[in-house]
């Protein structure tokens, strides 16, 4: 087995984000010598928009390890948290379009954050190229056990009695974890105080510590804490219940019929990456997701449903997600910071 290089901590970096417009002319074109027949000839980077230890980071490391074994080259996972994922996006879009820099994006980074910006920093339909949708996940509504709420109805009652008193942890302004909470707030007629973090893990730790009341986050790192009693799960946001915690109801079952929202992870590269490189990456990652029992078991234990489709299928899905969450952003009157 070839060695796998992991950058375990967050990388500290200062970047200047452009005020707007496309990245198309901001980086050099890929070398014409880059092709699937010689790719990869050097280590591959996987950029993660959030801190180490969270859901997206876990996905990146699973795929990175298997890609390293397949390619016979090191795969380096780089955590670039901050600015609701835009630091990682900026890093990707300043790299050559040659397939040596990938990004594991989530719904927030690739759909909701750009949709909420008055002048988008980048256009996810033009500036990145889809490789594959990896998996979908429900969000899970969890609270600190000290909060006197054992159901969505009780939480809503508390929130209506004291508007803005309940604090809600998210992975950043305009991210999917922020918008799903806004979706619930709009549905229930409540107001929560938004507290953004740089990833799932720090957000969850603050809820456990009692510094924050609640969060609607991806469950991949929360199941163990719910089972141990450190967190209380009130509901999941998907249409169906969450297999690892079958006693937890859905939001729809909790008095809000039709409520359905999921998070997702996907792989993208910079727009302009040669089509044969994109196809090579798609083929390898889809094979990894579909043929490795240990990878599948990891996603299923976290309630994830592996998708692993074509670049075109993910592109169509991304368009639908941008439209869906754009409506929530408009209704909530939100603006990305």
From 133-137, 156-160, 167-171, 219-223, the region with the lowest mean pLDDT:
219-223
Residue 68 sits in the same domain as residue 130: yes
DSSP, res 250: B
65 and 132 housed in the same domain: yes
Boundary-marking domain end, from 229, 254, 279: 254
How large is the average pLDDT for residues 312-331? 90
- Asked if 88 and 227 sit in the same domain, the reply is no
Residue 13 located in a structural domain: no
CA quadruple 327, 328, 333, 337: dihedral positive or negative?
negative
State the total domains in the chain.
2
Distance spanning both ends of the chain, measured CA to CA: 44
pTM: 0.75
CATH of the domain at 182: 3.40.190.10
Per the domain annotation, does 26 fall within a domain? no
Distance CA 304, CA 139 (A): 10
Question: Looking at the structure, do residues 115 and 149 belong to the same domain, yes or no?
Answer: no
The answer to whether residues 151 and 290 belong to one domain is: no
Q: Among residues 223, 254, 285, which one ends one of the domains?
A: 254
Instruction: Give yes or no: residues 220 and 314 share one domain.
Output: no
At 262 the three-state DSSP class reads strand
Sheet order of strands, 75-79 included:
6-10, 75-79, 44-48, 101-106, 262-270, 128-138, 305-306
In a domain, 4, yes or no: no
Confidence bin at 247 (pLDDT 50/70/90): very high
Q: Do 130 and 266 belong together in one domain?
A: yes
Residues 300 and 248 in one domain: no
35 is a domain residue: no
| Mean pLDDT value of segment 93-119 | 87
**Which residues 6+ apart lie within 8 Å of 270 measured at CB?**
23, 27, 92, 93, 95, 96, 97, 101, 127, 128, 129
Residues 190 and 248 in one domain: yes
- The answer to whether residue 15 is domain-embedded is no
Give the residue numbers spanning the domain of 54. 42-136+262-332
- The CATH number linked to 127 is 3.40.190.150
Structure tokens at 245: 């915690």
Chain segment 69-104, per-residue pLDDT in tens: 999 999 999 999 988 788 999 999 999 999 999 999
**Average pLDDT of the segment spanning 295-313:** 89
Same structural domain, 99 and 127:
yes
Of 211, 232, 254, which residue sits at a domain end? Answer: 254
Q: What is the mean pLDDT of residues 139-163?
A: 97
CB atoms within 10 A of CB 250: 20
DSSP helix/strand/coil, 135 = strand
Domain assignment of residue 120, yes or no: yes
Instruction: Please check whether residue 33 lies inside any domain of the structure.
Output: no
CB 28 within 8 A of CB 96: yes
In the beta sheet, which residues pair with residue 195? 169
Q: Which of 6-15, 151-160, 287-296, 303-312 has the lowest mean pLDDT?
A: 6-15
| Cα gap 87→4, rounded to integer Å | 24
* 108 vs 38, residue with greater confidence: 38
The token pair that represents 157 in the structure block:
């009652």
In this structure, what token pair is assigned to residue 197?
């973090």
How far apart CA 8 and CA 142 sit, in angstroms, is: 27
Alpha-carbon span 144 to 232, nearest angstrom: 6
Burial class (CB in 10 A: 0-12, 13-18, 19+), 26: exposed
CA angle 310, 171, 249 (to 5 degrees): 80
Domain match, 162 and 97 both: no
34 part of a folded domain: no
Looking at the structure, do residues 126 and 275 belong to the same domain, yes or no? Answer: yes
* Helix 275-291 and helix 311-332, axial crossing angle in degrees, nearest 10: 90
According to the model, what pLDDT value does residue 150 have?
97
32: tokens are 């014409």
């Amino acid at each position: 087995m070839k060695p796998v290089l992991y950058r375990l901590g967050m990388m500290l970096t200062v970047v200047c984000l452009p005020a707007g417009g496309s990245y198309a002319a901001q980086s050099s074109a890929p070398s014409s010598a880059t092709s699937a027949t010689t790719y990869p000839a050097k280590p591959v980077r996987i950029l993660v928009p959030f801190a180490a230890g969270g859901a997206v980071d876990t996905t990146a490391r699973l795929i990175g390890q298997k890609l390293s074994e397949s390619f016979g080259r090191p795969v380096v996972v780089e955590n670039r948290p901050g600015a609701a994922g835009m630091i990682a996006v900026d890093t990707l879009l300043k790299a050559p379009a040659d397939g040596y820099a990938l990004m594991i994006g989530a719904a927030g980074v690739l759909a909701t954050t750009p949709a909420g910006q008055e002048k988008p920093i980048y256009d996810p339909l033009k500036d990145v190229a889809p490789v594959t949708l990896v998996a979908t996940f429900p969000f899970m509504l969890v609270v600190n056990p000290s909060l006197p709420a054992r159901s969505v109805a009780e939480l809503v009652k508390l929130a209506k009695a004291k508007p803005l008193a309940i604090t809600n942890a998210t992975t950043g302004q305009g991210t999917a974890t922020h918008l799903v909470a806004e979706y619930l707030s709009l549905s229930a007629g409540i107001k929560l105080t938004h507290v953004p973090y740089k990833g799932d893990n720090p957000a969850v730790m603050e809820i456990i510590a009692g510094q924050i009341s609640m969060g609607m986050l991806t469950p991949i790192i929360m199941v163990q804490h719910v089972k141990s009693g450190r967190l209380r799960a009130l509901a999941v946001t998907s249409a169906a219940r969450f297999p690892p915690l079958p006693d937890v109801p859905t939001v729809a079952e909790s008095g809000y019929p039709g409520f359905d929202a999921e998070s997702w992870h996907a792989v993208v590269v910079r727009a302009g990456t040669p089509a044969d490189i994109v196809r090579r990456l798609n083929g390898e990652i889809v094979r990894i997701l579909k043929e490795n029992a240990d990878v599948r078991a990891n996603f299923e234990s976290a309630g994830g449903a592996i998708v692993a489709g074509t670049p075109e299928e993910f592109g169509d899905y991304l368009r639908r997600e941008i439209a869906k969450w754009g409506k929530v952003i408009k209704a909530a009157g939100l603006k990305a910071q």
